[in-house]
Structure 1
């Protein structure tokens, strides 16, 4: 039981040693230890603040990235819409131009047909006029003495004109 209850002398020398060590530590080691602990605390606080700041910046960058992506998607859809509109416009213009040119070609063809028709009619009229003149000339050249002879001659000429 001697170990459990120390003598007063041991207690006194232990107390003196403790006080001496405490005073030596207080005089030489306490301030540097406290100073290093304060510096360490400030370093940790600075690191935490820096980490919070970086976290906030990352959140801000992420939101900016998301807004940039949304804007880029919107611009892309706008460009695609404009491209579709331009394509439709070009296609419609090409269709209109094709219709216009087709109408022009049809009108030119009809005009050419009418011109050929008029030329053919003029030619037919000229031929008929020539035939009438020839028939009249033949009738006038031949002097016919009777009405029956003239009718027979005219009928013969008419038959010969029909054959040609």
Structure 2
């Protein structure tokens, strides 16, 4: 068991070496290690802060994007509604104009038909009058050729005049 228990001199030398090594490390290596750890902690903190800012910015951009999309959809709907209304107005105006034009054409056709009808009636009256005159002339020639017929005709005219 002696081999397992160290001697007093060995313990003192180990203590002196440990204290010397601790002093040497604290003077030479401890500050760079601590500063390196602080730099690492600072860079990690900055990276986390930057990531949080980027996340917030992305959320803001997403919100702005959704807002813009909503506005664009609303504007699209307004434009489509206005286009439909304009189309319907144009359609109604075109139908109204076509109806007015058709009514005007019908009215002009009726007027032309009436003018033609009046002209045709006038022509027919003239022809009837001409035929009547010709017939009357022929009858008169035939009837007036004899004296008795002339007297009867004159008497009938006189009676007619007296009746009126």
TM norm structure 2:
0.80
Query: Following superposition of structure 1 onto structure 2, how do residues 33-112 of structure 1 map, counting pairs within 5 Å?
Result: 33-112=33-112
- What CA distance in whole angstroms lies between the structure 1 residues aligned with 2:66 and 2:45? 31
- Deviation, 1:9, is 2.1
Gaps of 5+ in 2: 154-164
- Deviation, 1:88, is 1.1
Indicate the residue corresponding to 2:16 in structure 1: 16
Aligned residues between the structures: 151
TM norm structure 1:
0.80
- What CA distance in whole angstroms lies between the structure 1 residues aligned with 2:85 and 2:10? 102
- What CA distance in whole angstroms lies between the structure 1 residues aligned with 2:24 and 2:151? 175
Indicate the residue corresponding to 1:118 in structure 2: 118
Partner-residue secondary structure (3-state), 1:146: helix
1:87-108 per-residue CA deviation (whole Å, 9 max, x = no partner) reads 2112111211111111112111
- What CA distance in whole angstroms lies between the structure 1 residues aligned with 2:37 and 2:146? 157
Partner-residue secondary structure (3-state), 2:147: coil
- Deviation, 1:49, is 0.6
Gaps of 5+ in 1: 152-164
- Deviation, 1:6, is 3.2
- What CA distance in whole angstroms lies between the structure 1 residues aligned with 2:64 and 2:78? 21
- What CA distance in whole angstroms lies between the structure 1 residues aligned with 2:3 and 2:84? 99
Indicate the residue corresponding to 1:29 in structure 2: 29
- What CA distance in whole angstroms lies between the structure 2 residues aligned with 1:48 and 1:89? 60
Question: RCO higher in 1 or 2 (8 Å CA, sep ≥ 6)?
Answer: 1
- Deviation, 1:136, is 5.1
Is residue 146 from structure 1 mapped to residue 148 from structure 2 by the alignment?
Answer: yes
- What CA distance in whole angstroms lies between the structure 1 residues aligned with 2:110 and 2:39? 103
1:131-158 per-residue CA deviation (whole Å, 9 max, x = no partner) reads 344345553795541237976xxxxxxx
- What CA distance in whole angstroms lies between the structure 2 residues aligned with 1:90 and 1:80? 15
Of stretches 82-91 and 42-51 in structure 1, the one that deviates more from structure 2 is 82-91
- What CA distance in whole angstroms lies between the structure 2 residues aligned with 1:37 and 1:150? 156
